[in-house]
Amino acid sequence: MRNVRIVVTNCNTTREMTEEIVRGARAAAGPGTTVTGLTPAWGPESAEGWLDSFLSAAAVMDALRTYDGAPYDAVVMAGFGEHGREGVRELVDVPVVDITEAAAHLACLLGRRYGVVTTLERSCGQIEDSLELAGVGRNCAAVVGTGLGVLDLGDRDRTGAAFVAAAERARAAGAEVLVLGCAGMTGLERVVGDKLGLPVVDGVGAAVKLAEGLVALGLTTSRAGSFARPVPKRRAWGAE
Amino acid sequence: MRNVRIVVTNCNTTREMTEEIVRGARAAAGPGTTVTGLTPAWGPESAEGWLDSFLSAAAVMDALRTYDGAPYDAVVMAGFGEHGREGVRELVDVPVVDITEAAAHLACLLGRRYGVVTTLERSCGQIEDSLELAGVGRNCAAVVGTGLGVLDLGDRDRTGAAFVAAAERARAAGAEVLVLGCAGMTGLERVVGDKLGLPVVDGVGAAVKLAEGLVALGLTTSRAGSFARPVPKRRAWGAE
Amino acid sequence: MRNVRIVVTNCNTTREMTEEIVRGARAAAGPGTTVTGLTPAWGPESAEGWLDSFLSAAAVMDALRTYDGAPYDAVVMAGFGEHGREGVRELVDVPVVDITEAAAHLACLLGRRYGVVTTLERSCGQIEDSLELAGVGRNCAAVVGTGLGVLDLGDRDRTGAAFVAAAERARAAGAEVLVLGCAGMTGLERVVGDKLGLPVVDGVGAAVKLAEGLVALGLTTSRAGSFARPVPKRRAWGAE
Amino acid sequence: MRNVRIVVTNCNTTREMTEEIVRGARAAAGPGTTVTGLTPAWGPESAEGWLDSFLSAAAVMDALRTYDGAPYDAVVMAGFGEHGREGVRELVDVPVVDITEAAAHLACLLGRRYGVVTTLERSCGQIEDSLELAGVGRNCAAVVGTGLGVLDLGDRDRTGAAFVAAAERARAAGAEVLVLGCAGMTGLERVVGDKLGLPVVDGVGAAVKLAEGLVALGLTTSRAGSFARPVPKRRAWGAE
Amino acid sequence: MRNVRIVVTNCNTTREMTEEIVRGARAAAGPGTTVTGLTPAWGPESAEGWLDSFLSAAAVMDALRTYDGAPYDAVVMAGFGEHGREGVRELVDVPVVDITEAAAHLACLLGRRYGVVTTLERSCGQIEDSLELAGVGRNCAAVVGTGLGVLDLGDRDRTGAAFVAAAERARAAGAEVLVLGCAGMTGLERVVGDKLGLPVVDGVGAAVKLAEGLVALGLTTSRAGSFARPVPKRRAWGAE
Amino acid sequence: MRNVRIVVTNCNTTREMTEEIVRGARAAAGPGTTVTGLTPAWGPESAEGWLDSFLSAAAVMDALRTYDGAPYDAVVMAGFGEHGREGVRELVDVPVVDITEAAAHLACLLGRRYGVVTTLERSCGQIEDSLELAGVGRNCAAVVGTGLGVLDLGDRDRTGAAFVAAAERARAAGAEVLVLGCAGMTGLERVVGDKLGLPVVDGVGAAVKLAEGLVALGLTTSRAGSFARPVPKRRAWGAE
């Protein structure tokens, strides 16, 4: 088995969050896998809502477009519910796994219905749309907000309590498995899983395992149809 | 009736296309309506595929964010199938109408099923997703490509012939009304409508009428839930 | 811009309601638009439930079939959730806009999900069906009844209070925009909109703007397929 | 087992068709069942399209409302794809079975997907809507037209040939069972079933058996919610 | 009318339950119908959950495969929500009606939405899946558990009270008609129907009437496509 | 990283096929993974159609129930489109991955729509149902048969040619990625992938990678709700 080199893109410009995500990714990665974090040079400091999400999508694509580090075998996009995965699939020649869809794919294997617990209520719709388009919306019982902003997640006690409260609502709606609805929640799965008695899936870990799997199987994005390479043309990435 | 001032955003940096779109918008606008075109300062020269679309979304939001012209009452987003409308709804305090959804809303009033004829086949999926999320996908019978790129649409004879051929496929799939699936097709509706014996809806004209209607009724985007104002935070719009 | 002449059909035989609807329509109409009310010569005095709705559909079609007033450019059908729009589309050569679908089309532009507040609970299912077939059911979060009959709506205080209570239920189900679910509620939108902090769409106003828009764009119902002209044959419109 | 008295309503004013339908119903009825035909006093001479269908719905409700014959235990509505069943459910206190839904209910028991073969292409959409609202649209693979008008069905050879040709299209779309999509086709099921090697369900026979079953089980329409009795009020059934 | 001979298969090995089901079936059967109960020689003593359900499916197929009693005209499968109906359709040459789908088909005729009240909560998902695949899931408002095991249903007072409590939840979700979600509940319909003021459909009775109807109409399972006869091959039915 | 021990269950009694599946699984497995094949002691010699599938489900559950070999960390069920996964999830305490869903989960990551190419046409419906219930049906463009039986797949040239022909139909329906729709096709992915220019996903390999991923992340089936442990009771597994 050859080694697998994964680039994990943060959806925002906060380097501490990139580091935290990389830690989570490495904890999930197999022994032969190396993980490199990529922080966009521009974009929002955290992504909450559609404006941030579209800005983030462009910034992440730009970061990958201008990346000149070591070669890599797969991209993991660590912005839960954020846009951009289809654009990155056009851009790079390696498999691309978004943590939103990744968590849902694994969650579907663990129970008949899953639920997502995320940060602000305003993000719920965006996540629902992302799951629907990824083709895994059917078995999602609920997407529930905790009322916490992305940058509030540092307080782990408060976050854990808010998560458990929101998770109970997802459970009442039929969820048998939970998904951590923000890359910044990585690590919380063990704490809340025990309290809830439910499996809890972290998207970063899920995406790393899916990326490793695709690379091992020699699979990459189809170029037939939707995700053909971008047509060559003039493009300006930000004001000059 | 007060006058209505509409800003029409092009999804790409090609000023000739902005001018063409503005011409189409003015042809549809009521007597008291003024139309101002807005070309993003950056982004792709034409939007074809997801990478272009996300880049365009960020660039259009930036253009509106930094716009310092005369006040306006509504935004029309003239990128058929392109991303960004939800972000713009967060950003501005006036109604926002995307030409994709606008064409579909009017088409639903004219027949039991409608079809969309667009440029490259690779754009079809993106348009389907856009219609679905806008809530008007149910009565869409088909989205069909002509194989023409956005920048090829200048040749009106070739475009008309390709459109009619694609339209027949949409019709065979059940379409009773057609939608022009690209802002660059504006003006084609009369030519091909006669040949096909079907109503043909242009998104630019449709969006102008919807925007005028919303303004006249005093309606604007809900701030409750999805499209609340963006959370204040640091955001960088492009590399510095 | 030529003038637009709209015929607004009431779904019942109560002339006071026709007058009220016409007032609402005129308040929404543009300066060049004339509005004529049409009260069916037969049918129910108010439409509540399927029996009334089908009776109303036939009576409204008969009223338009036998109408011999001035020419008109569009028909607005002012029966929220009532049947008949597809039959009228077969019958007349001008665009036809039903207030149910009209309100939903505009509501979709204003928020990610909308809700409808109507009169009796028994009407909710009929409205859901109407929205679904019109192709705009996807983003409807809830249709909620107030428990008030159509003919009880004259008491504006009671109606407003009942509306607000029902609207809170729609909001809890995800509605970010509200729709007045009865033509007799026209005028209520401003009162309740302020209390709720949500945009409230009135179907009569919405339909007038959509009708004006279709006429201005030169668009009318497709004759290909579903809404071809009625086959000539013997038809008796009521017992003789 | 007590006897079952079924009233079968024709959807149009053509008495010969009522007789034919009654013959079909009697052929399907059990030994203790009596079948009475009811021809509306007004309405279309045949129902083809939405205008006819809504006119028919009102006329059939009026026929049942003013019916003063012997008591009956169930109503079978013999208008394939025609409107009115929900109104009749409000009106009468006995079970109501529409031949459209009846055929689909039985067809679902006989194969994984069924198809409908009907008269004019313009009726297909109306039938699709009827099946969808009846809750049995999911397993319908296709609704296909033969191009024959209702009043052309007398020529059985031509009808049989057109049916078989249309049925092949339904089969190619996945239909494993066929439904006769017009009350006037009753009797055709045996002829075409042999040719096609597929079960063919006639809605009139299906509805008779379902009505007998409901009566035998003592079941009738729920009055809770949608199909509560009509609210007492003034209603005029046709011009006076 | 020839006589109809129905074999009713129990989904478990408990003979008392077979007898109870046969009593219910006979109570619903017409005068010319004979009902024979068939208890699988192996399988679970009651079916609760997927493991039981798949075991039951194989055992019921084996019971029919090895049945050497008198000929029969139809099979009724009396395991609410249990698997196997498609396999039995392949196996036998007569119509096959599963009580799950049967109850739903009749319930759809009696109200706009129906609800199912069943035993353990864990069975709800399985029933939802069964209804969905049978093509009658659309109008199901809710499937609700009572918390009672199959073998607890003997206590009729407790069962009735638990049923009524669960039924109120189904009603709040929109159900206008109820379905008894377990063959062991047969007989309860009259008791709870009166208390609730709603029609209550028992699947065993419903399936008997549907089976009688299909036999009377000369209809049986399509052999084209899904339910072709099993391919001849070696099969071992249990360890030897 | 601890080693992962996977039991792969064949859905039929043909030991050669178990061996072939094990070879495919080992080719996909990581260096620390051991794969043990499990052939049911009874059931069909190949699974084609619902009867075989339900028989297979019971036999596979029995094989796992009575398995007394070395401990294992995950189960891979190698019957494409076959029943049983939910029952096995109840039975064992380790994660369970069915090759049908596994292939679809990975395929969703590689293109906007995927297609499945399988053996006999009669299996297509069963596969569609399996994908739908697994929650990954939305992005499936088509399930297409090759006309080959499971036991015909040994002829690799004929199989490859039939696969390519069927794949073209899936592609015309929108598939951008293909799935091998039978465990017996494992190994074909490279041959046909090159010819078609599309990624081809083999379910056995996909399931192995997903199982490894779940084990590495410490995730297993939720016991809350659907997949609780089987209720203790008497069960007979086959005639005695």
Span C69-128, pLDDT tens digits? 999 999 999 999 999 999 999 999 999 999 999 999 999 999 999 999 999 999 999 999
Pairing of strands C43-44, D235-236: antiparallel
Residues with pLDDT less than 70, chain C: 1-2, 240
Query: d(Cα A9, Cα E12) in Å, to the nearest integer?
Result: 54
- Looking at the structure, tell me whether residues A10 and A77 fall in a common domain: yes
pLDDT at B2: 63
Are the CB atoms for E103 and E77 separated by under 8 Å?
no
Is the residue at A227 inside a domain? no
The tens digit of pLDDT for each residue in B4-30 reads 999 999 999 999 999 999 999 999 999
CA distance, residue A97 to nearest chain B CA (Å): 16
Rounded mean pLDDT of E125-154? Answer: 94
Mutate to test the interface with A, among F109, F132, F171 (most CBs of A within 10 A): F109
Residue D58 shares a structural domain with residue D34 = yes
Domain membership flag for residue C23: yes
Residue C184: predicted pLDDT: 87
Q: D77 and D12: one domain?
A: yes
pLDDT confidence of residue D131: 98
Q: Are residues A52 and A171 in the same domain?
A: no
Residue B240's pLDDT band, with cuts at 50, 70 and 90, is: low
Neighbours of B191 (CB within 10 A): 16
Task: Say if residue E1's pLDDT is above 80.
Answer: no
Q: In sequence order, which residues have a C-beta less than 8 Å from that of residue A160 and are 6 or more positions away?
A: A188, A191, A192, A195
Tokens of F185: 């096709």
Flag whether residue A224 sits within 8 Å of chain B, measured between CB atoms. no
Q: Is the pLDDT of residue E210 over 60?
A: yes
Q: Do C227 and B113 touch (CB under 8 A)?
A: no
pLDDT given at position A127: 98
Nearest to F11 by CA among F46, F50, F37, F51: F46
If asked whether residues B189 and B143 sit together in one domain, one would say yes
**Chains A, B in contact: 3+ Cβ pairs under 8 A?**
yes
Tens-place pLDDT, residues B199-222: 999 999 999 999 999 999 999 999
Q: Is residue A87 part of a domain?
A: yes
Mean residue pLDDT of chain E comes to: 95
Per-residue pLDDT at A154: 83
- pLDDT tens digits for B37-68? 999 999 999 999 999 999 999 999 999 999 99
Residues C44 and C116 in one domain: no
CATH number at residue F196: 3.40.50.12500
CB contact under 8 A, F106 and A139: no
**DSSP per residue over C147-190, as a string?**
S--GGGTT-HHHHHHHHHHHHHHHHHTT-SEEEE-SGGGTTHHH
Label residue A223 exposed, middle or buried (CB < 10 Å: 0-12, 13-18, 19+).
middle
CA gap A58, E227 in Å, rounded: 51
Band of pLDDT at residue E150, cut at 50, 70 and 90: confident
List CB contacts of C155: < 8 A, sequence separation 6 or more: none
Chains C and D touch (3+ CB pairs under 8 A): yes
Contacts of D149 (CB under 8 A, 6+ apart): C231, D46, D48, D119, D120
Shortest CA distance to D112 belongs to which of A15, B25, E80, F126? F126
Q: Which of E50, E212, E48, E199 is nearest to E114 (CA)?
A: E199
Q: Is the pLDDT confidence value at D72 over 80? A: yes
* Residues contacting residue A27 through CB under 8 Å, at least 6 positions apart: A205
Token readout for B96 is 């926002």
- pLDDT, mean of residues E202-206: 97
Q: Measured in whole angstroms, how far is the alpha carbon of residue C35 from the centre of its chain?
A: 15
Same domain, yes or no, for F36 and F91?
yes
Could you give the CA distance from residue C55 to residue C83 in angstroms, rounded to a whole number?
9
Rounded Cα distance, C149 and C46, in Å: 9
Residue E232 maps to a domain: no
DSSP C92-111: -SS-EEEHHHHHHHHHHHH-
CB of C32 within 8 Å of a chain D CB? The answer is no
Radius of gyration of chain A (CA): 17
**Helix (H) or strand (E) segment spanning residue B41:** none
Residue B138 has pLDDT above 80, yes or no: yes
Backbone phi, psi, residue B46, to 5°: -155, 155
- Please, what sign has the CA dihedral across residues E28, E29, E31, E37? negative
Whether D50 has its CB under 8 Å from any CB of chain C: the answer is yes
pLDDT at C202: 97
The values of phi and psi at residue A183, to 5°, are: -60, -30
B69 CA: distance to closest CA in chain C (Å): 24
Residues A95 and A136 occupy one common structural domain: no
What is the predicted pLDDT for the residue at E2?
63
pLDDT at C186: 84
Arithmetic mean of pLDDT over chain F: 95
- Residues A27, A114, single domain; the answer is no
Which of these ranges, A53-67, B27-41, E180-194, F24-38, has the smallest mean pLDDT? E180-194
Q: Among candidates D158, D150, D161, which has minimal Cα distance to D185? A: D150
What pLDDT sits at residue D186? 84
| Residue numbers in E near D96 (CB within 8 A) | 109
Task: Enumerate neighbours of D (3 or more CB pairs within 8 A).
Answer: C, E
Q: Which of the four pLDDT bands, split at 50, 70 and 90, describes residue B183?
A: confident
CA E46 to mean position of chain CA atoms: 14
Do D82 and D125 fall into the same domain? no
Per the DSSP assignment, residues forming a β-bridge with A200 are A178
pLDDT band at B139 (very low <50, low <70, confident <90, very high): very high
Q: Is the pLDDT of residue D212 over 70?
A: yes
Asked if the structure places residue F238 within a domain, the reply is no
Q: Which residue of A has its CA nearest to F226?
A: A112
Amino acid at B118: T
- Are C58 and C17 found together in one domain? yes
Give percent of chain A above pLDDT 70: 99
CA-closest candidate to residue F122, choices F151, F136, F143: F143
Same-domain pairing of B78 and B108: no
The tally of domains found in chain E comes to 2
Residue ranges making up the domain that contains F146:
100-203
At residue F152 the predicted structure's pLDDT band, cuts being 50, 70 and 90, is confident
Q: Does B217 touch chain A (CB under 8 A)?
A: no
From B182-191, D78-87, E45-54, F81-90, the region with the lowest mean pLDDT: B182-191
Q: Is residue E61 part of a domain?
A: yes
d(CA A231, CA B152): 13
Asked if E104 and E132 touch (Cβ cutoff 8 Å), the reply is no
What mean pLDDT is reported for chain A?
A: 95
- Name which of A108, E233, C171 is nearest F219 in CA terms: A108
Of B13, B61, B226, the CB nearest to A54: B61
Mean per-residue pLDDT for B177-189? 91
Query: Hey, which bits of chain C come out as E strands?
Result: 4-10, 33-38, 43-44, 74-78, 96-98, 114-118, 140-145, 177-180, 200-202, 235-236
Q: Does F41 touch chain E (CB under 8 A)?
A: yes
Pairing of strands E4-10, E74-78: parallel
Chain D contact set for C231 (CB, 8 A) = 48-49, 52, 149
**pLDDT of the residue at C112:** 98
Domain annotation covers residue B234: no
Model pLDDT, residue F2: 63
With a pLDDT cut of 70, the percent of chain F lying above it is 99
Instruction: Note whether residue A79 is domain-resident.
Output: yes
